[in-house]
Amino acid sequence: MKEKKSYQSWTISDEFWEEIKDKIPVKKRDPQKKYKHAPGQGRPPIPPRKVLEGIFYVLRTGCQWKAVPRKYGCASSIHRYYQEWVAAGFF
């Protein structure tokens, strides 16, 4: 008998990730805007897969954005990504 893999409902499977990864909006730097740091400097961005899992965690559990487990990244960053992706039409 084949064993069924158990996933938490907010965990993204490899198959689903392969389908969706190219549809995630990528934020580009505005060439007209003056930035404090050159590209590549500063804190590295959270991997999109972790961000999406953090968003799914909030949507499935109903917790507050501040209560997102740290393993998904900074809660305020995950919320910001969610707002940007909603504005871009991803959700």
Query: pLDDT tens, 35-57?
Result: 777 777 778 889 999 999 999 99
Global model pTM greater than 0.85: no
CB atoms within 10 A of CB 82: 19
Domain ranges of the chain: 45-91
Residue type, 34: K
Q: Which residues contact 29 (CB under 8 A, 6 or more apart)?
A: 35, 39
Summarised one tens digit per residue, pLDDT across range 22-39 is 999 987 777 788 877 777
Rounded Cα gap, residues 21 and 32, in angstroms: 28
What's the Rg (C-alpha) of the chain?
A: 16
